[in-house]
Amino acid sequence: MSITAATLLIVDDEPLVRKLLKMLLEDQGYLTLTASSGEEALAIVEQQPPDLILLDIMMPGMDGYEVARKLKSDKSMANIPIIMLSALGEHSARILGLEAGAEDFLNKPVESAELWLRVRNLLRLKAFGDYLKSHNLMLEEQLQQRTIDLERFRSAMDASGDAIFLINRSSMRLIEFNRHACQVMGYSVEELLRKTPADLSDNTIEQLEIMYDQIIAGRSPIEPIETRIRCKDGSYIPVEMHREAYKTGDDWIIVGIARDISRRKETDQRLLKMAHYDSLTGLPNRNLFFTTLQMGLTQALLSNWQLAVVTVDLDDFNNVNETWGHLVGDQMLTELGQRLTNCLNVSDTVGRMDGDEFALILMIREGQADPLQTVERVREKLREPFHLAGQLTAMTASIGIALYPNDGDDAHGLIKHANTAMHRAKKIGRDTYRFYTAQMNVEASARQAMEAALRDAVEQHAFELYYQPKIDLADGTVCGLEALLRWPRPGLPNVSPAVFVPILENLGLITQVGKWVITSVCKQIADWQTAGEKPFRVAVNVSGQQIIEGDLIASIQQVLVDHQIDPHWLEIELTESSLMENTSHTIASLKTLQQMGIKVSIDDFGTGYSSLAYLRRFPIDKLKIDIAFIREVTSNPQDAAIAKTIIELAHSLDLQVIAEGVETVEQLAFLTANGCDQVQGYLFSRPLPISELDELLRERICFT
């Protein structure tokens, strides 16, 4: 069976999950069938048995466990491998799936490379199992019959693409083999007949005798084992070996079927390299560098050595990309990786961490020079001009150094401290280095200062609300506003909410600030009503902490009563990740808000929790497409596909869709053409203080 032509059945009640899996699998050349329920899946399997089934656990009606049990209880379907899919992530779910008969288990969200490997391996095992079954039946019939037709048997074996060997247990000699065995190992028939099975493997005769006796006694593994066979020229071929024992008269025949897995091994090595090595420079990537550093620290501890972590970041590398293009920039990074490698001792390591940032692990044995010697070699090598686009270009770097055990005894800490030292060197100037010291940890001091300033700001209510209009694409009018928190600091640089809001959460102050925001918004809505102006629905961002730790419902109810405004003028926005904290309490809180008439919107949709199950479980009115997908929606086909899918998914669930970060008319045209309901972004208006907002709203501009 050709694995690339295999037919796979995708069973999931989520349309988007089926669509995404179908796209991933068909991209690898597989044929796909889909079913939205367990009952539909069983009907499809009965009419058109697939080669493999991807089966979701949690489905309405018949769940995945029951479907798996029914399939495995039917002899005609039992050989179809099943991969269970679940977003539960619990060990018990995996155990129940395996007990139901599933061969493998994947957690949602599924990582594409892992999905392809699991599917490929299960299809290979199924094909090999089907092959063995047919071969075993043939061999058993022919070997057990005294009237075996030897020539016919040889023809059947010669038709196989695997190497097949028949060994007499008593004599421990080869008594038969197929033509492919001779071709693979380079022996003639006469030469191979003079060989023992020990001549073709890494095992001795004694070891093979024990192995064969275990097979005869039924105590050996049923699954094929990976081993290797020795060729005539002394080279080895990796194989997947399956052995069976057949009784013939008073003796036993051991049948060995060896499948060449050289290509599979090469593929696995390529995948392993992709996972652990940088594709551009061939150096260890961040993950492998971290693992190597952990091993180096263990060796340094046992050997009482020092160890240095050195981070190297090129100065003004962006100018290279901007002047000559990324292709020339990549050539420079490749050459830089080679230069760094040439500066190191055998026991040292260099890796590419990210972009133009590299890192070194220097093992400093007793009596050896400090790492400055290596650092100076690196600086000298960098000063040698690079040949770029026919010109000689000099390049320098900022270097940071952290030492074990002085600056830390764990991998994370040493890398962090080396980076701190490197950033300090970069601030001082080009082509310099710095060692890590406690005084250099400026970021920690700055954070402490910011925490103190934020505590003062909370006590003094020193925040301000800006409002950004939302535009209805049906008529181009302002249909609502989003309230955005700002922290004015006279005489000091502005701090982004993306920076200070997480600090407020860590300090446990976000609930207090959140109450102030909701109170301020409701007061503003009341002011509009008092002035005789039509109010707008205002969306307020709510942290998960406000729902879990704060009395969000009670505080909102009180504010609505205090300012005598209708709840439908208020909208709550939450991120996907905040939904998944204390889900039962969150669901109950959101249901109460909806019953009050308050709309619930999911902010930054598509960037947080990857399961779509919450769209059914949580009371939600609106999805907001994250700016990350809108930014390149007209130039990146993947972002365009994601945006279209979110819109279609939302509408199929009777949810509205709003896109944030709309900055160009092309983005607006795309969203309008694909049925997006609302938009907001700098194309229409930046976030405005209330004075400028009132002026904009009084003009009643139509954005069409």
State the CATH number of the domain containing residue 293. Answer: 3.30.70.270
Q: How wide is the angle at C-alpha 251 spanned by C-alphas 248 and 256, nearest 5°? A: 75
- Tell me whether residue 19 is in a domain: yes
Do 454 and 436 belong together in one domain?
no
Q: Is residue 629 part of a domain?
A: yes
What b/e sequence results for 142-174 when a residue is b if at least 16 CB atoms lie within 10 Å of its CB, and e otherwise? Answer: bbeeeeeeeeebeebbeebebbbbbbebeebeb
Could you give the angle at the alpha carbon of 526 between the alpha carbons of 521 and 528, nearest 5°? 100
pLDDT band at 265 (very low <50, low <70, confident <90, very high): confident
Structural tokens at position 581: 């904290």
Residue type, 620: I
Residue 30, domain CATH: 3.40.50.2300
Mean pLDDT in residue range 337-363 = 91
Query: For residue 367, what pLDDT band results from cuts at 50, 70 and 90?
Result: low
Cα–Cα distance between 461 and 485 in angstroms, integer? 12
Residue 291 lies in a domain: yes
Report the pLDDT value the prediction gives residue 445, as an integer from 0 to 100: 56
Whether pLDDT at 180 is above 90: no
Length reported for the chain: 704
Q: Quick check: is 271 in a domain?
A: no
Q: Give dist(CA 101, CA 98) in Å, integer.
A: 5
Task: Give domain status of residue 7, yes or no.
Answer: yes
pLDDT score for 178: 85
pLDDT band at 701 (very low <50, low <70, confident <90, very high): low
CATH label of the domain that carries residue 687 = 3.20.20.450
Which residue did the predictor score with more confidence, 700 or 485?
A: 485
Whether 685 contacts 469, CB under 8 Å: yes
Q: Are 361 and 304 in contact (CB under 8 A)?
A: no
Specify whether 88 is located in the same domain as 154: no
> Is residue 610 pLDDT above 50, yes or no?
no
- Asked whether residue 552 falls in the same domain as residue 621, the answer is yes
- CA-CA distances (angstroms) from residue 409 to 174, 308, 402, 545, 646? 58, 11, 10, 34, 46
**Domain assignment of residue 504, given as a range:** 449-699
Encode burial over 32-63: b for 16+ CB neighbours within 10 A, e otherwise.
bbbbbbbebbbebbeeeebbbbbbbbbbeeeb
Q: Give CA angle at 570 (569, 575), nearest 5°.
A: 150
We report the CATH number of the domain holding residue 224 as 3.30.450.20
Question: 572: which strand partners?
Answer: 540, 600
Q: What is the pTM of this model?
A: 0.43
Last residue of a domain, one of 230, 264, 298: 264
Confidence of residue 675 (pLDDT cuts 50, 70, 90): very high
Mean pLDDT for all residues in the chain: 86
Same domain, 514 and 629: yes
> Does the CA dihedral 49-54-59-63 come out positive or negative?
positive
Q: For residue 147, name the pLDDT band (cuts at 50, 70, 90).
A: very low
Same domain, 11 and 62: yes
Tell me the pLDDT band of 516, cut-offs 50, 70 and 90: very high
Tell me: pLDDT of 554 over 70.
yes
Over residues 223-249, the pLDDT tens digits come to 788 889 999 998 999 988 888 888 877
Partnered with residue 225 across adjacent β-strands are 241
The amino acid present at 344, given as its one-letter code, is: L
CA pseudo-torsion sign 447, 449, 450, 451: positive
Q: How many domains does the chain have?
A: 4
Which residues, 6+ apart, have CB-to-CB distance to 701 below 8 Å? Answer: 478
Which residue reads 């260890």 in tokens?
284
- Residue finishing a domain among 89, 122, 155: 122
Q: What is the pLDDT of residue 148?
A: 45
Query: Average of pLDDT values for 266-287?
Result: 80
- Tokens 């701190």 identify what position? 420
CA distances in angstroms from 540 to 195, 307, 502, 551, 654, listed in the order given:
81, 50, 16, 16, 22
Lowest pLDDT segment from 26-35, 463-472, 509-518, 581-590: 581-590
Residues 644, 649, 651, 654: what is their CA dihedral angle, to the nearest 10 degrees?
Answer: -160
Six-digit token pair at 110? 């599924």
**1: confidence class by pLDDT, cuts 50, 70, 90:** very low
With a cut of 70, say whether residue 615 has pLDDT above it: yes
Q: What are phi and psi of 230, to 5 degrees?
A: -90, 130
Flag whether 587 is in a domain.
Answer: yes
**What CA–CA distances, in Å, run from 293 to 71, 203, 288, 434?**
48, 37, 8, 20
Mean pLDDT within 328-345? 91
CA–CA gap between residue 184 and residue 490 (Å, rounded): 80
What are 620's two structure tokens?
């939600």
Question: Pairing state of beta strands 163-168 and 104-107?
Answer: unpaired
Report the distance separating Cα 133 and Cα 124, nearest Å: 14
* Most confidently modeled range among 271-285, 471-485, 542-556: 471-485
Which tokens in the block code for residue 610? 């990857």
| Shared-domain flag, residues 472 and 582 | yes
Indicate the residue type of 394: A
Is residue 228 in a domain?
yes
Exposed e or buried b per residue across 426-465, where buried means at least 16 C-beta atoms within 10 angstroms of its C-beta: beeeeebbbbbeeebbeeeeeeeebbebbeebbeeeebeb
Maximum alpha-carbon separation in the chain? 106
Boundary-marking domain end, from 415, 440, 465: 440
**For 228-249, b where at least 16 C-beta lie within 10 A, e where not — what string?**
bbbeeeeeebbbbbbbbbbeee
Instruction: Specify if 45 maps to a domain.
Output: yes
> Cβ(418)–Cβ(311) under 8 Å?
yes
Q: Are 71 and 46 in contact (CB under 8 A)?
A: no
**Co-location of 607 and 627 in the same domain:** yes
Cα separation of 156 and 490, whole Å?
89
DSSP string, 477-505: -EEEEEEEEE---TTS----HHHHHHHHH
Q: Which pLDDT band holds residue 704 (cuts at 50, 70, 90)?
A: low
Position 340 confidence tier, pLDDT thresholds 50, 70, 90: very high
Are 318 and 242 part of one and the same domain?
A: no
Q: For residues 616 and 662, state if they share a domain.
A: yes
Residue 633 has what pLDDT? 92
For residues 375 and 290, state if they share a domain. yes
pLDDT of 258 above 70 = yes
| Whether the Cβ atoms of residue 24 and residue 109 lie closer than 8 Å to each other | no
319/254 same-domain check? no
Which stretch of 1-5, 40-44, 589-593 has the lowest confidence by average pLDDT?
Answer: 1-5
Residue 572 scores a pLDDT above 90 = yes
Confidence of residue 703 (pLDDT cuts 50, 70, 90): low
Q: Are 188 and 77 in the same domain?
A: no
Assigned token pair, 41: 């899946």
Q: How far is CA 143 from CA 150, 161, 263, 600, in A?
A: 10, 21, 32, 72
